[in-house]
Amino acid sequence: MSEPFDVVDVIRTKRDRGLLSDAQIDWVVDAYTRGVVAEEQMAALAMAILLNGMQRDEIARWTGAMIDSGERMDFTSLSRPTADKHSTGGVGDKITLPLAPLVAVFDVAVPQLSGRGLGHTGGTLDKLESIPGWRASLSNAEMLAQLDDVGAVICAAGAGLAPADKKLYALRDVTGTVEAIPLIASSIMSKKIAEGTGALVLDVKVGSGAFMKELDQARELARTMVGLGTDAGVRTVALLTDMSVPLGRTAGNALEVRESVEVLDGGGPRDVVDLTVALAVEMLAAAGRPVGEDEVRAALADGRAMDVWRRMIAAQGGDPDAPLPTARHTRDVVADRDGVVDRLDAYSVGVAAWRLGAGRSRKEDPVQAGAGIEIHARPGETVRAGTPVLTLHTDTPERFDRALEALDGAWTVAQDAPARGPVVLDRID
């Protein structure tokens, strides 16, 4: 069959800073998915987009074309509204785990399609798979039934959801084009819009451990994604949140599950609790069920969110009472002087956790459930010489040396340290 466009002409249009037409976009996304456009040709187009950008109409059409490459989910049969959250990824970012059951307490269903870690950022599914018996893959019918019964589900996206994005993401990862904001925004939003949620809250991370290192860059991405969601009829808001320091006191898989359970039990680190509550308030408001911050915090303190968590884990075959895996080997990193920790670099901690076995270099790599890092002293906290600042966990002790290399210079101790700012830096709607 003859094709309506020549891909070289499409590449040249964007190379020469022109605007792609709706028809060109629809065709090139479909043709790439079908294999008509070669990998090297799409790589050239992606690089042209990285260098020359896209206008809002182009990004919206590109996103729509990726959605149309697969199926759309439909939650209109549910008796309650739906709301979802997406994080752009960070270190120690276990927020989805306590957040989904917390929002469900207030009769809003949470269809949380999540992913796996790659590189220094952790993956929600990897964390949950450290719970004995828990399974990530659900059919659409199973997902709908769990939402109707429990009110929350965290699972893997099915193969039929935006298949064009899966193929394009893998290409961008190996061609130096991951950083293209139009392609980041359309990648995230194509899946979330196809998912069919009625409201979406975006957690756009900013800082060394995030994909977006600078606030202005993060704002541009947030505004682009909010615009895409709004244009598609999804009530969308974004919070810009700090990722210069790891979230909480753990980075790993089972370690982060343990910390999430502490939050659901009314405790846990302040920054994790504050961000969980802030995102829950936004999700409930976007879903048309506004609830005050005090009432949301009360649902963590009085066990209601924990009850939903236990039901959610059990519904996916997990045992919420089973002991979590622990690493066979640990090593402490100790302070060399008395003082106050004044910095702890998120990226370095993420790389170290990855090297210990908590993350993967390729999507098919296995991860260690018990590997990761415990943080005993965060910025602003006092340490004494010889006391642990960090504890490294792994099943394979030969990994310690490379993890320690990643942590060289990642933290410093001073006589005093500036007060930490809030975890939420800005809001875009």
pLDDT tens for each residue of 230-245:
999 999 999 999 999 9
Which of 315, 350, 380 is the last residue before a domain boundary? Answer: 315
Query: Any idea what the CATH number is for the domain that residue 289 is in?
Result: 3.40.1030.10
Query: Any idea what the CATH number is for the domain that residue 401 is in?
Result: 3.90.1170.30
Decide if pLDDT at 278 tops 80: yes
Which of 315, 344, 372 is the last residue before a domain boundary? Answer: 315
Q: What b-and-e string marks burial along 19-53, b requiring 16 or more CB atoms within 10 Å of the CB?
A: ebeeebbbbbbbbbbeeebeeebbbbbbbbbbeee
Instruction: State yes or no: is 191 an active-site residue.
Output: yes
| 360 and 306 together in one domain | no
- pTM, 2 dp: 0.93
Q: What domain count does the chain have?
A: 3
Decide if pLDDT at 419 tops 70: yes
Catalytic residue, chosen from 94, 120, 167, 172, is 172
* Residue 342, domain member (yes or no): yes
Catalytic residue, chosen from 26, 93, 126, 165, is 165
Q: Quick one: pLDDT band at residue 363, thresholds 50, 70, 90?
A: low
Catalytic residue, chosen from 191, 192, 219, 393, is 191
Reported as a single tens digit per residue, the pLDDT across 143-169 is 999 999 999 999 998 878 899 998 998
Instruction: State yes or no: is 87 an active-site residue.
Output: no
Domain range enclosing 378? 329-414
Catalytic residue, chosen from 69, 87, 186, 187, is 187
200-208 average pLDDT score: 96
Of the candidate ranges 2-16, 28-42, 101-115, 349-363, the one whose mean pLDDT is the lowest: 349-363
| 299 and 209 together in one domain | yes
Of the candidate ranges 22-31, 70-79, 111-120, 236-245, the one whose mean pLDDT is the lowest: 111-120
* Residue 426, domain member (yes or no): no
Reported as a single tens digit per residue, the pLDDT across 121-142 is 778 999 999 999 999 999 999 9
Q: What pLDDT shows up at residue 223?
A: 96
Decide if pLDDT at 375 tops 70: yes
| 195 and 281 together in one domain | yes
| 297 and 334 together in one domain | no
Q: Quick one: pLDDT band at residue 1, thresholds 50, 70, 90?
A: low
| 170 and 243 together in one domain | yes
Instruction: State yes or no: is 213 an active-site residue.
Output: no
* Residue 323, domain member (yes or no): no
